[in-house]
């Protein structure tokens, strides 16, 4: 549904020519006029069919909000097919327009121009800031950007770029040595975004009591149990610490922004995302889907010298929001509310941008390898580039592929439809052969000017910077998704699934054989390692199996022998069994997790004290 709302001194019309599907009206109804009114031009679209109730509801909500803002009770509903290039059937459009008219009648003085006629009309627009507004209404309730619409229509050329610099059309490339790259390429070209079945990580995140769906919220918003929250917070800290070490300045900005702000509104339509749009008491706003807005507005007000470049800003946006399509939502892979580490670098020109991007490329590699992913084995590199940028910067892209270490997929556009001329992504291909972008960086040549961000060069001239958009890890939730999918893949190869040691909620599980051994464990004190005690009244075998199902890295059974000798029999997740003192065990874990963030156990140490979050 598309509507154009015009606050008018008056509108008058006359039905001139009747079409085959026109509604029947008496001669005296062919003309009408309305004073001091909100004129709502309405175009019902093909995609609205089958969704009339929701479309009517949301359209009427938007009309009511605007009528309140312009302080009028008079509304003229005017069928106007010309707002859309994909109109619905006339029958469905007529029923929808009539439903809008009937729903508004209870609160407003409403008129409706005839449906199915060529009409002559005159109107006088009042000319204030809110007197001309356009809206796009969908059944999902999101605002769809122009960039997203263009992305769905634009035709791309697809290639594989090798480490030798060969650019080979996808149809001619031999994928025999790169099976995962073939899966990724097929997924990207076919754009099979809808999940036909639940990905394996969903069962794992639920069974391990990490994350779960939240039925009391909008789809794509999750609940995090204590262990899941621990893992998420450790990942957030790891990414943030590394980005700050790189030289970025951490800031915090609002999560909602004025939809009518000129720079923001323009940028919305250059970004391929669906937005949550809400009405506050003061204005219509959207929830941010990236950290760009706050950082750009902040630098618009800043005084910047060439000596400050590259200028690096960072925010961990908890949360960002995108109205992803419902069929695409699946576990941690694709969400409507997510945590995005977002680091922008403001540089002088394209050459500086390429240099800075390579520094950030290495930063991302350090972060992802520290998380527990093997680079490049676990991920696939994609490059999105305009034909013009490719022709001028081919060597730069080839150098990036060499640094990556294996061939990359290239999507090349003949024209630029976004604000960037080049972006790369590191993608994880999961067990359903679906791909999800983790790390990504972009060279943005528009937003320095759009937001009027300026720096003073050596000659004292004011210039707009080129901007790089880096998420060094991708959404934190997607890292968790990738780690769980990788663990599931390991299990299918006969390898015990596990999380990296530094992310394991419990690193040591002590299992006392009897109450006497429990007293021994209650007296131990360990710092810098997460441990717990299975004091449940269950058999020893059942408690060991329970620890295995929880992927506990180190399992220690404590009996008379261990209490007397102070030497522990340690069952290690990789299959080893070793004799170790407690001090040696703690030292080993600390050595293996050296340099990584640490947080305390988020649950009671004794298992009998814990609730069961998911039965």
Show the tokens assigned to 103.
């729903």
The domain segmentation of the chain, as residue ranges, is 2-139, 157-485, 501-609
Task: State how far the Cα of 593 lies from the Cα of 504, in Å rounded to an integer.
Answer: 11
Q: Give the pLDDT confidence score for residue 417 in this predicted structure.
A: 81
Judged by average pLDDT, the poorest of 60-74, 369-383, 582-596 is 60-74
Residue of 391, 237, 386 whose CA lies nearest to 316: 237
Q: How confident is the model at residue 283 (pLDDT cuts 50, 70, 90)?
A: confident
User: Which is it for strands 508-512 and 531-533: parallel, antiparallel or unpaired?
Assistant: parallel
What is the rounded distance in angstroms from the CA atom of residue 257 to the CA atom of residue 265? 10
For residue 371, CA distances in Å to 167, 181, 438 come to: 32, 22, 12
CB neighbours of residue 406 within 10 Å: 17
The pLDDT value given to residue 306: 97
Measured at the CA of 432, the angle between CA 427 and CA 434, to 5 degrees, comes to 30
Alpha helices in 73-143 (DSSP H): 90-104
Give the C-alpha separation, 354 to 393, whole Å: 9
Asked if pLDDT for residue 259 goes beyond 80, the answer is no
Per-residue pLDDT of 343-379, as tens digits, reads 999 999 999 999 999 999 999 999 999 999 999 999 9
pLDDT of the residue at 60: 94
Asked whether residue 269 carries a pLDDT value surpassing 80, the answer given is no
Residues 6+ apart with CB under 8 A from 322: 273, 274, 275, 276, 289, 336, 338
* Closest alpha carbon to 501 in 362, 569, 610, 595: 595
The yes-or-no verdict on residue 271 having pLDDT over 70 is no
> What is the torsion angle, in degrees rounded to the nearest 10, for the CA atoms of residue 603, residue 605, residue 610 and residue 615?
80
**Helix (H), strand (E) at residue 482:** helix 476-492
Q: Which helix (H) or strand (E) segment is 296 a member of?
A: helix 292-300
pLDDT band of residue 268 (cuts 50, 70, 90) is low
Residue with tokens 């599907």, as numbered in its chain = 21
Which is more confident, 285 or 570? 570
What is residue 145's predicted lDDT score, i.e. its pLDDT?
A: 52
Q: What's the chain's average pLDDT?
A: 92
pLDDT reading at 551 higher than 90:
yes
Threshold 0.85, pTM exceeds: no
Q: Are 547 and 534 in contact (CB under 8 A)?
A: yes
CB count, 10 Å around CB of 526? 15
The pLDDT value given to residue 190: 81
Number of H helices, E strands in the chain: 16, 29
The answer to whether 37 touches 76, Cβ cutoff 8 Å, is yes
Q: Which of 237, 201, 234 is nearest to 602 (CA)?
A: 234
Assign domain 2-139 one CATH number from 3.40.50.2300, 1.10.150.120, 3.50.80.10, 3.40.50.620: 3.50.80.10
For the domain 501-609, what is the CATH code? 3.40.50.800
The answer to whether 2-139 and 157-485 have equal CATH topology is no
Rounded distance between C-alpha atoms, residue 567 and residue 554, angstroms: 15
Q: Which of 5-9, 188-192, 528-532 has the lowest mean pLDDT?
A: 188-192
Nearest to 288 by CA among 216, 232, 342, 220: 342
Class of domain 157-485: alpha beta
Mean of pLDDT values over 297-323: 94
Q: What is the CA radius of gyration of the chain?
A: 30
Angle at 219 between CA 213 and CA 224, to 5 degrees: 30
Over residues 86-141, the pLDDT tens digits come to: 899 999 999 999 999 999 999 999 999 999 999 999 999 998 867 888 888 887 54
Q: In this predicted structure, what is the pLDDT of residue 218?
A: 85
C-alpha torsion angle, residues 495, 613, 479, 374 (rounded to 10): -20
Euclidean distance between CA atoms 27 and 281, whole angstroms: 44
Q: Identify which has the larger pLDDT, 42 or 264.
A: 42
pLDDT over 90 percentage in the chain: 76
pLDDT reported for residue 54 = 87
Q: How far apart are CA 403 and CA 161, in angstroms?
A: 13
Chain centroid offset of residue 402 CA: 28
**Do 178 and 407 contact (CB within 8 A), yes or no?**
yes
CB atoms within 10 A of CB 327: 11
pLDDT single digits (tens) 402-414: 999 999 999 999 8
pLDDT digits (tens, 9 = 90+) for 324-350: 776 678 899 999 899 999 999 999 999
Q: Are 293 and 266 in contact (CB under 8 A)?
A: no
Kind of pairing between the strands at 132-136 and 2-18? antiparallel
> Which phi and psi (to 5°) does residue 497 adopt?
-65, 145
Supply the pLDDT for residue 263: 74
Task: Give residue 325's pLDDT.
Answer: 72
The DSSP call for residue 608 is: G
Q: What is the mean pLDDT of residues 423-435?
A: 96
* 217-240 residue pLDDT tens: 988 899 999 999 999 999 999 999
pLDDT score recorded for residue 157 = 92
Question: CB of 321 within 8 A of CB of 352?
Answer: no
Asked if residue 329 lies in contact with residue 219, where contact means CB atoms within 8 angstroms, the answer is yes
Confidence at residue 186, expressed as pLDDT on a 0 to 100 scale:
93
What is the reported pLDDT for 415? 86
Q: Is 206 exposed, middle or buried (0-12, 13-18, 19+ CB in 10 A)?
A: middle
Question: Over 60: is that where the pLDDT of 395 sits?
Answer: yes
Confidence of residue 143 (pLDDT cuts 50, 70, 90): low
Give the Cα separation of 233 and 316 in Å (integer). Answer: 11
What is the secondary structure of 424-447 as a DSSP string? Answer: EEEEEE-TTS-EEEEEEEEEESSH
Both tokens of 524, joined, read: 């131990």
321 or 586: which leads in pLDDT? 586
Rounded to 10 deg, the angle between the 52-70 and 90-104 helix axes is 50
Q: Which tokens hold the place of 369?
A: 């390898």
**What does 53-89 look like in DSSP terms, one character per residue?**
HHHHHHHHHHHHHHHHHHT--EEEEEE-GGG-SSB--
Confidence of residue 8 (pLDDT cuts 50, 70, 90): very high
d(CA 340, CA 469): 12
Partners of 314 in the beta sheet?
Answer: 250, 343
CB 47 within 8 A of CB 110: no
- Token pair, residue 26, equals 């008496």
What percent of the chain is predicted at pLDDT more than 70? 95
pLDDT value at residue 75: 97
Query: Which has more pLDDT, 282 or 518?
Result: 518
């Amino acid at each position: 549904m598309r509507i154009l709302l015009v606050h008018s001194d008056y509108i008058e019309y006359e039905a001139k020519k009747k079409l085959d599907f026109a509604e029947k009206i008496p001669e005296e109804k062919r003309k009408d006029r309305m004073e001091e009114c909100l004129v709502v031009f309405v175009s019902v679209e093909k995609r609205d069919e089958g969704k009339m109730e929701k479309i009517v509801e949301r359209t009427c909500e938007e009309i009511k909000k605007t009528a309140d803002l312009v302080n009028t009770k008079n509304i003229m509903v005017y069928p106007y097919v010309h707002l859309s290039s994909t109109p619905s059937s006339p029958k469905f459009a007529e029923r929808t327009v009539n439903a809008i008219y009937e729903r508004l009648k209870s609160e407003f003085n409403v008129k409706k121009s005839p449906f199915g006629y060529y009409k002559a009309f005159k109107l006088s627009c009042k000319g204030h800031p809110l007197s001309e507004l356009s809206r796009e209404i969908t059944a999902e309730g999101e605002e769809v950007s122009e960039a997203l619409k263009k992305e769905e229509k634009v035709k791309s050329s697809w290639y594989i770029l090798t480490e030798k610099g060969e650019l080979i059309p996808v149809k001619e490339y031999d994928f025999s040595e790169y099976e995962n790259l073939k899966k990724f390429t097929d997924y990207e070209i076919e754009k099979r975004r809808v999940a036909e079945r639940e990905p394996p990580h969903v069962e794992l995140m639920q069974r391990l009591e990490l994350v779960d769906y939240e039925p009391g919220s909008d789809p794509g918003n999750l609940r995090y149990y204590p262990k899941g929250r621990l893992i998420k917070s450790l990942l957030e800290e790891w990414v943030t610490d590394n980005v700050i070490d790189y030289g970025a300045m951490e800031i915090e900005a609002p999560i909602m922004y004025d939809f009518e702000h000129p720079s923001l509104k323009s940028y919305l339509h250059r970004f391929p995302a669906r937005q949550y749009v809400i009405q506050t008491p003061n204005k219509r706003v959207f929830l941010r889907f990236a950290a760009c807005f706050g950082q750009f507005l902040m630098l618009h007000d800043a005084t910047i010298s060439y000596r400050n470049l590259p200028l690096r800003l960072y925010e961990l946006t908890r949360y960002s929001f995108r109205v992803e399509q419902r069929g695409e939502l699946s576990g941690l892979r694709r969400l409507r509310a997510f945590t995005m580490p977002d680091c922008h670098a403001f540089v002088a020109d394209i050459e500086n941008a390429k240099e800075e991007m390579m520094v950030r490329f290495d930063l991302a590699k350090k972060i992802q390898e520290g998380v527990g992913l093997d680079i490049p084995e676990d991920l696939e590199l994609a490059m999105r580039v305009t034909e013009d940028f490719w022709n001028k910067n081919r060597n730069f892209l080839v150098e990036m592929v060499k640094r990556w270490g294996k061939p990359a997929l290239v999507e090349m556009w003949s024209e630029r439809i976004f604000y960037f001329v080049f972006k790369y992504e590191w993608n994880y291909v999961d067990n359903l052969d679906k791909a999800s972008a983790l790390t990504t960086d972009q060279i943005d040549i528009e937003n320095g000017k759009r937001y009027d961000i300026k720096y003073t060069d050596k000659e004292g001239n004011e210039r707009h910077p080129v901007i790089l958009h880096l998420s060094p890890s991708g959404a934190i939730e997607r890292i968790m998704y990738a780690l769980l999918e990788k663990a599931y893949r390991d299990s299918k190869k006969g390898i015990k699934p596990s999380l990296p040691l530094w992310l394991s909620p419990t690193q040591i599980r002590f299992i006392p054989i009897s109450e006497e051994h429990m007293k021994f464990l209650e007296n131990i004190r360990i710092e810098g390692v997460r441990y717990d005690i299975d004091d449940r009244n269950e058999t020893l075998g059942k408690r060991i199996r329970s620890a295995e199902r929880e992927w506990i890295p180190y399992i220690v059974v404590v009996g008379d022998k261990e209490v007397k000798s102070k030497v522990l029999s340690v069952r290690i997740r990789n299959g080893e069994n070793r004799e170790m003192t407690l001090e040696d065990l703690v030292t080993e874990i600390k050595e293996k997790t050296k340099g990584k963030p640490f947080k305390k156990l988020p649950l009671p140490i004794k298992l009998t004290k814990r609730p069961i979050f998911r039965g």
